[in-house]
Structure 1
């Protein structure tokens, strides 16, 4: 008999992270960090030129055969979310971490081509739909890793506390619209979704976490009203790299594997407002979100 009888080890699988809103700000800083760790980074962004520039610059710092792909998509449009999800499936056969970061605040009431209020669409329904569509890829990754290492992370906001509860009679804010109230409701929806998602998928090896990034020096408020932009300009802010450190920690820290459904800020757990811990509201929001998407997608097939 010859030679080496040691069993042949399969090649180490490259980890894959999907980051929405990755062409600038927190998402861009997070994508940069994952690329430096040698991950396969799939980023999304609204602007084609910014996506192209980000892809090139992040790929230039990628280490250990790190791979970078960028997809352009308008996350106020659910059809675009479905297209992006399909394109992600063509780029990767598994997803270890999904970071639902894209979102923002608007300066008024905008309706999408599908009849949705743009703030609720981009900040809540888009991540809800993208997560649903990518769940088979997340579960495939979970089947190959110890429990709790495959994660879905929601970027929410302390602004969720300003919303006393979901506007069940009018989630789409068809009446009595207020731009900042719409944003705060969407950020509360992020936390309720993260909570209900964790309840539903934890047993499949996937956990759901949420975080508050703080006031960040980015283009977050570029479409906000003058009052919001003035408030952002007048108050101290942190660089995108600071909350990106928390996002990378939430994505990779082994000790967080049993802490699904939790809310974090600056590398530490925080207690969200009581309305974000309402399990009945979380379950109801899931049902209402499914109903809204079913109605929209039934008319766009």
Structure 2
């Protein structure tokens, strides 16, 4: 294949030009990578369901996304505090009522708190928002998702899991809580892909080192601009990964995962804990 033709084919596989007729739910889309991804999807003509922690933020984000995208896509806002299992259930119920089926679910919401905070359900906040919320939301929507589930992990994910410290019982560390949550998301994604026949596919990714509020809070401004962060968009739209499932992507390429993610017994143990903590289970 000639170099110019190869470049054309590679570009065509990277992103589609239209998402007309597609409905996508993005959690944590009021700023950062979530909002940037929502804007790009709306520009492609998708119906974008924008989630935010409160209605005021969600409405403001939806208006900005609609305006920035030139009004091409339909944008609708939903509010829910992802640290509350009750509110996550309510979010799923409202989404299903308005949209009996959705094409893509992007579990993008995440936090990096500096102090240990227990949620109304008694869980450490990082664990609740970064792990329990996407597990519960996905369990409640999985049979309505037609094409893809995208879960956000991180290159900061740990390589081991201490089942006696999921709630930071041994002393709180913001970095430990975050890396634990992102490892758990990688394990959840791998087990989800093993349990749920595609479609929908289930893949996770490192969204890149991007100057979001979270990155600056935890590590300082050491990344790229949010406007250049398109890895989440790639995994949600690229034809090249339409039939790929159970993988972890870094810079749009499937990469190896920590050995613990490959351990089916350990994934099963985590899965059982997540079911117990959320009170939810997936269809067999």
Give the TM-score of the pair, scaled to structure 1.
0.81
Runs of at least 5 residues in structure 2 that lack an aligned partner in the other structure: 1-18
Corresponding residue of 2:48: 41
Which of 85, 90, 109 aligns to 2:97? It is 90
* Residues 97-130 of structure 1: CA deviation (Å, up to 9, x unaligned): 1110101211111001111110000000000000
* TM-superposition CA deviations, 1:7-61 (whole Å, max 9, x none): xxxxx98211110000000000000011011111001111433322211121124
What is the rounded CA distance, in whole Å, between the counterparts of 2:135 and 2:108 in structure 1?
12
SS state of the match for residue 108, structure 1?
coil
Q: CA deviation at 1:278?
A: 2.5
Q: Is the 8 A contact 1:165 1:275 kept in 2?
A: yes
Distance 1:200 1:174 in 2: 30
CA drift of 1:174 comes to 2.6
Relative to 1, partners in 2 of residues 1:30 and 1:13: Cα closer, same or farther, differing over 3 Å?
closer
* 2:171 matches 1:176: yes
Q: Name the residue aligned to 2:191.
A: 196
Q: CA deviation at 1:221?
A: 4.7
Q: Residue 195 of structure 2 aligns to a residue in which SS?
A: helix
CA–CA separation in structure 2 for the residues paired with 1:179 and 1:248: 28
Aligned to 2:87: 80
Give the drift of 1:92: 1.0
Question: Which one of the candidate residues 228, 232, 238 is aligned to 2:220?
Answer: 232
The equivalent residue for 1:107 is: 114
Aligned counterparts, 1:27-66, within 5 A: 27-62=34-69, 66=73
Alignment of 1:208-219 (within 5 A): 208-219=202-213
The alignment status of 1:167 with 2:152, answered yes or no, reads no
Mapped to 1, the partners of 2:53 and 2:20 lie a distance apart of 30
> SS at the partner of 1:34?
helix
Partner of 1:298: none
Higher Cα radius of gyration: 1
Cα offset for 1:181? 0.7
The correspondence for 1:156, drawn from 153, 156, 159, is: 153
Q: Distance in 2 between matches of 1:177 and 1:65?
A: 45
Question: Unpaired segments of 5 or more residues in structure 1?
Answer: 1-11, 142-149, 296-301
Residues 20 and 46 in structure 2, CA contact (< 8 A), matched pair in contact too: no
CA distance in 1, matches of 2:242, 2:191: 17
Question: What is the Cα deviation at residue 72 of structure 1?
Answer: 1.4
Instruction: Confirm or deny that 1:220 pairs with 2:214.
Output: yes
Tell me the equivalent position of 1:281: 266
Q: Do the aligned partners of residues 64 and 290 (structure 1) sit closer, same or farther apart at CA in structure 2, a change above 3 Å counting?
A: same
Q: Aligned-pair RMSD on alpha carbons? A: 2.0
Number of aligned residue pairs: give it.
Answer: 262
Q: CA deviation at 1:64?
A: 8.1
